[in-house]
């Protein structure tokens, strides 16, 4: 199934490849130069709901939602059922926002 199209989204060559990789891996990192459409493409490809615990609050994010975690805030993305999510984080950012409890990162 191709990503849903918003009225302002401009289809990209990478859309089909991103959909294929999300289907096989469930999580994909999109890397590229500034202002090339990474965020718009990621929002277009999102297909599930994720809960994001930030300090003492929980945010419910659906397809196309974008949330920026303020620097230094403890955070934990989670889902009640299998979810597809795209996290754009600086290299070395722990997946919990807390270096003491973070699982080691691995490249797939």
**Three-state SS at 57:** strand
Q: Which residues are paired to 107 by β-bridges?
A: none
- Is 1 within a domain? no
Q: How far apart are CA 93 and CA 10, in angstroms?
A: 30
Q: How far apart are CA 91 and CA 94, in angstroms?
A: 9
pLDDT confidence of residue 6 = 47
Question: Residue 39: phi, psi to the nearest 5?
Answer: -65, -45
Is the pTM higher than 0.75? The answer reads: no
- Is 74 within a domain? yes
- Is 108 within a domain? no
- Is 37 within a domain? yes
**Three-state SS at 38:** helix
Is beta strand 75-78 parallel, antiparallel or unpaired with respect to 57-61?
A: unpaired
* Least reliable range by pLDDT among 10-14, 67-71, 88-92, 93-97: 93-97
Range of the domain at 22: 15-78
- Is 10 within a domain? no
Say if residue 39's pLDDT is above 70: yes
- Is 20 within a domain? yes
Q: Which residues are paired to 50 by β-bridges?
A: 61
**Three-state SS at 64:** coil
Q: Which residue in this structure is represented by tokens 């990503």?
A: 3
- Is 92 within a domain? no
Q: How far apart are CA 60 and CA 63, in angstroms?
A: 10
What's the total number of domains in the chain? 1
Say if residue 2's pLDDT is above 70: no
Across the chain, mean pLDDT equals 76
């Amino acid at each position: 199934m191709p990503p849903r199209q918003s009225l302002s989204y401009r289809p990209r060559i990478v859309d089909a490849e991103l959909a294929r990789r999300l289907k096989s891996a469930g999580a994909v990192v999109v890397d590229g130069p500034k202002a090339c459409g990474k965020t718009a493409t990621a929002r277009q490809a999102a297909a599930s709901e994720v809960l994001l615990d930030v300090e003492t609050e929980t945010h419910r994010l659906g397809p196309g939602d974008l949330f920026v975690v303020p620097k230094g805030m403890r955070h934990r993305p989670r889902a009640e059922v299998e979810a597809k999510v795209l996290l754009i984080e600086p290299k070395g950012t722990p997946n919990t926002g807390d270096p003491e409890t973070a699982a080691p990162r691995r490249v797939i």
